[in-house]
Amino acid sequence: MTSDQLTRAIIQGVNAGGEQFLEGTLTAALPIIWLAILGLHLGRPYILDMIDRFTLCLGADLLWLVYVVLRDLLIISGVIMSFMFFFPDVVVSDQLPLTGGLAAACLFAALLVKLAGDPDHNLRDFRLTTFLLGLGALFYFVPYVAGVQANSVVAGPLATISNCLESCLGCRNWLCFHRPAGCAGGAGGGLYLDDWRTR
């Protein structure tokens, strides 16, 4: 082995290790992001009740501003972190939730509703955002808990179900579903924007 081959092998190993570390970190952080998004979204009535108790208008405005910025930044960061579910090489090689791409599509659709509508003042948009976030959390947490986390502890028939919920061990044809689901989500978002413009 020459020194150039050794250098190339070391660089490839470091790059592959860094990629695995980054993807593993994102996979471990996404459940925390999802829980924070759901908690902040569903905690909106509590924040509104707290705002009514403020005697100083500046304090109420600052609380509302911090709440909205934190909630929306978490949704944006969740969408950005979920982009890894749309790369087939990552989904096939790593232990990820099988329906993580659908969860990312739901989170992106919720972000579109927030950008195009006004969930803070329109009840229909708030319900749609709540439904999309709940569906996305369901798509993420069920395969994450029953597939990725339970894979090392379950045995027998439960191990077969657990393997099917994990991206690297599950049905390979499921990857073909992500592309049409993304197209359907984009078309649905376009229809929603068109409906919103005509209101």
**What pLDDT shows up at residue 187?**
52
Q: Which of 123, 115, 140 is nearest to 26 (CA)?
A: 140
CA angle 95/104/118 to nearest 5° reads 160
Instruction: Please choose, from the candidates 89, 78, 3, the residue with its C-alpha nearest in 3D space to the C-alpha of residue 36.
Output: 78
Torsion sign (Cα): 127, 32, 30, 62: positive
Beta bridge partners of 44: none
Distances (CA, A) of 128 to 38, 139, 157, 168: 14, 16, 37, 32
Collapsing DSSP to helix, strand or coil, 126 comes out as helix
Residue 91's Cβ-count burial label (10 Å; 0-12, 13-18, 19+) is buried
Residue type, 53: R
Could you state, in chain order, the average pLDDT of each consecutive group of 10 residues for the chain (199 residues)?
Answer: 85 86 86 93 90 84 92 93 84 80 91 89 90 92 84 78 68 49 56 56
CB 114 within 8 A of CB 75: yes
Confidence (pLDDT) at 180: 47
pLDDT of residue 198: 57
pLDDT of residue 72: 92
The confidence score (pLDDT) of residue 176 equals 44
**Distance in angstroms (rounded) separating the CA atoms of residues 19 and 57:** 48
What's the CA angle centered on 78, arms 62 and 127, to 5 degrees?
70
Rounded to an integer, what is the distance from CA 162 to the centroid of its chain? 20
Which ranges of 117-152 does DSSP label H, i.e. alpha helix?
A: 123-143
H runs (alpha helix) in the chain: 3-42, 44-53, 57-81, 88-93, 100-116, 123-143, 157-164, 175-197
- Residue 157 has a pLDDT of 78
